[in-house]
């Protein structure tokens, strides 16, 4: 399984309060996200500006995302969501 992450990330507080990023898995794009609650619990981020915490801990977040992708722990809509328990 070939997994690569692009350098894009976005925060859409209307969509599940998640910082989203993209993974390319065997040439298929998957929307991945880490919940704001997980960022706050693990890294002490502020809910109104979660992107700095995501960027500071990108390597760890990508490591967790890789593990979850390999375990095929996708949401019903095909996205991947990292929660506090995952970090």
Laid out side by side, the sheet with 18-25 consists of 3-12, 18-25, 28-35, 80-82
Outline where DSSP puts E strands in 26-73.
28-35
Provide the domain count of the chain. 1
Q: Give the pLDDT confidence of 12-59 residue by residue, as tens digits.
A: 777 678 999 999 999 999 999 999 999 999 988 777 789 999 999 999
pTM over 0.85: yes
Domain that holds residue 52: 3-86
* CATH code assigned at 23: 3.30.160.140
């Amino acid at each position: 399984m070939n997994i690569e992450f692009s350098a894009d990330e976005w925060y859409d507080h209307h969509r599940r309060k998640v910082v989203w990023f993209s993974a390319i898995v065997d040439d298929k794009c998957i929307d991945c996200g880490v919940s704001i609650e997980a960022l706050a619990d693990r890294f002490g981020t502020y809910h109104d500006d979660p992107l700095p915490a995501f960027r500071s801990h990108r390597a760890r977040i990508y490591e967790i995302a890789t593990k979850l992708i390999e375990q095929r722990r996708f949401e019903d809509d095909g996205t991947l969501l990292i929660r506090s328990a995952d970090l």
